[in-house]
A and B are shown apart, each in its own frame.
Chain A
Amino acid sequence: MNELVFFINNVVIAGSVTGSIYAIGAIGVTLVFSIMRFAHFAHADMMTFGAFMVLLLTMAFPGAGAVVGLPTAVVMLPLAMALTALLAVGIDKAFYKPLRAHGVKPIVLVIGSLGVTLMLQGLIRLFAGTSAQSLYIAERKEIYRLELPFELATRPIIVTEPQIILFILTIASVVGLHIFLNRSRLGKAMRAMSDNPDLARASGINTNTIVAVTWVIAGGLAAIAGTLLSLDVTFKPDLSFFLLLPIFAAAIVGGVGHPYGAIAGGFVVGFAETLAVFNWSVMLRPIAHLFPEWIEIPRNLAFVGTEYKIVVPFFILVAILVWRPTGIFKGKVI
Chain B
Amino acid sequence: MNNPTPTPTETTPQSRFPVREVVLFGALLVAVLGVYMAMGTAYSTRMLVEAACYAILALGLTIQWGYAGQFNAGVMGFVAIGGFSAMFFSVPVNDAFWGTELPGELGRVLLYAVASIALVVGATRLDRLGVPKKLRTVIAVILGVVLYLVVISMLRAVTSEIQSRAGFVGGLGLPAWTGWIVGGALAGGIGYYIGRICLGLRSDYLAIATLGIAEIIKAFLKNSDWLTRGTATVSPLPWPTPGPSELGFTLARAVYLSVTAAMIAVIFFLLHRAYHAPWGRMIRAIRDNEVSAAAMGKDINKRRLEIFVLGCILMGVGGGALASFNSLFDPQGYLPLNHTFLVLVMVILGGPGNNLGTIFGAVAVYIIWLMSEPLALFLMNLAVMFGEGVFGWDPPGNLSSRALQARVLVIGLLITLVLRFAPQGLLPEKVKHHG
Chain A interface (Cβ < 8 Å from any Cβ of B): 38-39, 41, 95, 98-99, 102-108, 110-112, 114-123, 125-126, 129-130, 241, 244-245, 248, 252, 280, 298, 300-301, 303, 305, 307-308, 310-311, 313-314, 317-318, 321-322, 325, 333-334
Contacts and interface: CB of A to CB of B under 8 A. Distances in A.
Contacts of A248: 208
Contacts of A117: 412
Interface of B: 2-3, 69, 71, 73, 148-149, 152-153, 156-157, 197-198, 201-205, 207-209, 211-213, 215-216, 219-220, 222-223, 336-337, 341, 344, 348, 396, 398, 401-402, 405-416, 419-420, 423
Contacts of A99: 419-420
Contact of B341 (A107, A114, A334): A114
Contacts of B198: 321
A241 B3 contact: no
A137 to B, nearest CB: 18
18 contacts: A99-B419, A99-B420, A105-B203, A108-B419, A110-B204, A115-B415, A117-B412, A118-B341, A119-B413, A125-B405, A130-B405, A245-B211, A245-B212, A252-B208, A298-B153, A300-B156, A308-B216, A310-B219
B209 A317 contact: yes
B368 to A, nearest CB: 13
Contacts, number: 156
A261 B2 CA distance: 32
Contacts of B411: 118, 122
Contacts of A310: 212, 215-216, 219
Given A108-B419, A111-B415, A308-B219, A334 B3 contact: no
Given A110-B71, A122-B412, A307-B222, 17 more contacts: A104-B419, A108-B2, A111-B415, A112-B419, A119-B412, A130-B405, A244-B211, A245-B215, A301-B153, A307-B219, A308-B223, A317-B212, A318-B209, A322-B197, A325-B201, A334-B202, A334-B205
Contacts of B211: 244-245
B212 A313 contact: yes
B219 A115 contact: no
A311 B203 CA distance: 21
A104 B202 contact: no
A245 B396 CA distance: 33
B201 A321 contact: yes
Contacts of A38: 204
B341 A125 contact: no
A237 B136 CA distance: 47
Q: Which 5 A-B pairs have the closest CB atoms?
A: A118-B412, A122-B409, A115-B415, A122-B408, A119-B412
Nearest to B420: A98
Given A104-B423, A300-B153, A310-B215, A119 B416 contact: yes
Contacts of A120: 412
A115 B412 contact: yes
A115 B207 CA distance: 14
A263 B157 CA distance: 39
Given A102-B423, A118-B337, A118-B411, A303 B216 contact: no
Nearest to B417: A115
B207 A110 contact: yes
A108 B423 contact: yes
Contacts of A301: 149, 153
Contact of A103 (B3, B216, B223): B3
B204 A111 contact: no
Contacts of A244: 211
Contact of B204 (A95, A303, A334): A334
A106 to B, nearest CB: 7
Given A102-B423, A112-B415, A321-B198, A314 B205 contact: no
Contacts of B222: 307
Given A95-B416, A112-B419, A321-B197, A39 B208 contact: yes
A333 B202 CA distance: 7
Nearest to B421: A98
Contact of A39 (B156, B204, B405, B412): B204
Contact of A107 (B69, B223, B337, B415): B69
A115 B344 CA distance: 10
Contacts of B202: 106, 333-334
A64 B2 CA distance: 50
B3 A102 contact: yes
A333 B336 CA distance: 27
Nearest to B202: A334
Contacts of B348: 111
B402 A125 contact: yes
A38 B405 CA distance: 27
A314 B409 contact: no
A318 B197 contact: yes
A91 to B, nearest CB: 10
Contacts of A245: 208, 211-212, 215
Contacts of A98: 420
Contacts of B420: 95, 98-99
Chain B CB count within 10 A is highest, among A111, A126, A130, for A111
Contacts of A333: 201-202
A121 to B, nearest CB: 6
- Which of B202, B216, B336, B344 has the largest number of chain A CB atoms within 10 A? B202
A79 B36 CA distance: 50
Contacts of B148: 303
B328 to A, nearest CB: 21
Nearest to A304: B152
B206 to A, nearest CB: 9
B215 A107 contact: no
A319 to B, nearest CB: 10
A111 B71 CA distance: 9
Contacts of A126: 402, 405-406, 409
Contacts of A112: 415-416, 419
A98 B1 CA distance: 17
The listed residue with most B CB atoms (<10 A of its CB), out of A110, A126, A305, is A126
Contacts of A308: 216, 219-220, 223
A102 B2 contact: yes
B284 to A, nearest CB: 16
A100 to B, nearest CB: 12
A325 to B, nearest CB: 6
A314 B212 contact: yes
